[in-house]
């Protein structure tokens, strides 16, 4: 069957073949396959199904139809409060399904670790665009609930330079936490900063080591962009934390 390249694969490119997606296995592919199997057995539809390995050694996943918000500027509204609530609810759903499983090990849950609009499938069922699934689970690993919630706040709200109304965005951070049901929010802003610091340093180090994907990201300005976002969050730490208070 014909193969068509799918857009948005910044690190691991993929192609569509019929109703399937084919991609190179990542370093933690066996863990991810077990995770996707767990989610499938529980009837959770917020992730692709792992269907096996093809004759070229590529993963075979079912194709999830919908809009993937991989472009920085979106012509379709995917940042409404309703979208943010549903993102947080989806995260809570798969966290709860993985809690106390062997995949979570000694941690609270299995985290996706790369939640962002570019890894989200949206569909309009009559009430506007809503997130229905997450893709690109390559970085999934045992972790704490707050790790994914903090990543959602950073990526889906675009925390960084360019935000004029800090109080308003702080309320949207609280909206995400409320929708998820995050009880302890005392670390949230610190974990956002931890993610940002880890991200720019990781890209820079991997690029220096010659990783082609990380070299492309660095050349595209990703290191400077994330460092600027980290500086912005640090600068507005108190205001963001205040928005989480009752």
Same domain, 97 and 128: yes
* 71-80 CB contacts, 8 Å cutoff, 24+ apart: 71/8, 74/117, 76/122, 76/129, 77/128, 77/129, 78/117, 78/120, 78/122, 78/129, 78/131, 79/117, 79/156, 80/128, 80/129
Q: How confident is the model at residue 8 (pLDDT cuts 50, 70, 90)?
A: low
27 has a pLDDT exceeding 90: no
Q: How confident is the model at residue 119 (pLDDT cuts 50, 70, 90)?
A: very high
Q: CATH number for the domain including 85? A: 3.90.1200
Q: Which of 83-87, 123-127, 140-144 has the least mean pLDDT?
A: 123-127
Q: How confident is the model at residue 75 (pLDDT cuts 50, 70, 90)?
A: low
- For 157-197, the pLDDT digits (tens) are 999 998 999 999 999 999 999 999 999 999 999 999 999 99
- For 226-245, the pLDDT digits (tens) are 999 999 999 999 999 998 87
Same domain, 40 and 109: no
Same domain, 217 and 114: yes
Instruction: Tell me what percent of the chain is helix, strand and coil, each rounded to the nearest 5.
Output: 45, 15, 40
Domain boundaries, position 111: 67-242
Same domain, 45 and 89: no
**CA-based nearest residue to 158, from 73, 239, 87:** 73
Same domain, 78 and 56: no
Q: How many domains is the chain built from?
A: 2
Same domain, 16 and 108: no
Q: What is the pLDDT of residue 10?
A: 52
Q: What is the pLDDT of residue 50?
A: 97
CA distance 85 to 29: 29
**pLDDT above 90 as % of the chain:** 83
Same domain, 138 and 38: no
Same domain, 80 and 192: yes
pTM for the whole structure: 0.93
Last residue in a domain, options 47, 62, 77: 62
Same domain, 25 and 99: no
Same domain, 34 and 142: no
Angular region, 231: left φ>0, alpha ψ -120 to 50, beta rest: alpha
Same domain, 184 and 216: yes
Q: What is the pLDDT of residue 9?
A: 54
- For 197-236, the pLDDT digits (tens) are 999 999 999 999 999 889 999 999 999 999 999 999 999 9
Same domain, 33 and 122: no
| Bigger pLDDT: 120 vs 27 | 120
Tokens representing 74 are: 């979106």
Rg (CA), the chain: 18
23 has a pLDDT exceeding 60: yes
Q: How confident is the model at residue 133 (pLDDT cuts 50, 70, 90)?
A: very high
């Amino acid at each position: 069957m014909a193969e068509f390249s799918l857009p948005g694969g910044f690190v691991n490119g993929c192609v569509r073949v019929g109703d399937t997606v084919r991609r190179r296995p990542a370093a933690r592919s066996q863990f991810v396959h077990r995770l996707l199997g767990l989610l499938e057995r529980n009837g959770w539809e917020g992730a692709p199904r792992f269907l096996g390995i093809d004759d070229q050694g590529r993963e075979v996943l079912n194709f999830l139809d919908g809009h993937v918000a991989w472009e920085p500027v979106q012509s379709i509204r995917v940042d409404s409060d309703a979208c943010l609530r549903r993102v947080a609810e989806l995260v809570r759903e798969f966290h709860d399904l993985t809690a106390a499983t062997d995949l979570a090990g000694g941690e609270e849950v299995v985290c996706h670790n790369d939640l962002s609009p570019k890894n989200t499938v949206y569909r309009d069922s009559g009430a506007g665009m809503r997130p229905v699934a997450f893709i690109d689970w390559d970085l999934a690993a045992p972790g704490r609930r707050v790790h994914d919630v903090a990543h959602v706040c950073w990526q889906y709200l675009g925390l960084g330079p360019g935000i004029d109304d800090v109080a308003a965005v702080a309320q949207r951070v609280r909206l995400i936490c409320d929708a998820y049901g995050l009880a302890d929010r005392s670390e949230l802003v610190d974990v956002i900063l931890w993610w940002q610091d880890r991200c720019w340093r990781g890209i820079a180090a991997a690029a220096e080591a010659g990783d082609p994907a990380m070299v492309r990201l660095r050349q595209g300005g990703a290191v400077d962009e994330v460092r600027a976002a980290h500086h912005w969050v640090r600068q507005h730490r108190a205001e963001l934390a205040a928005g989480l208070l009752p």
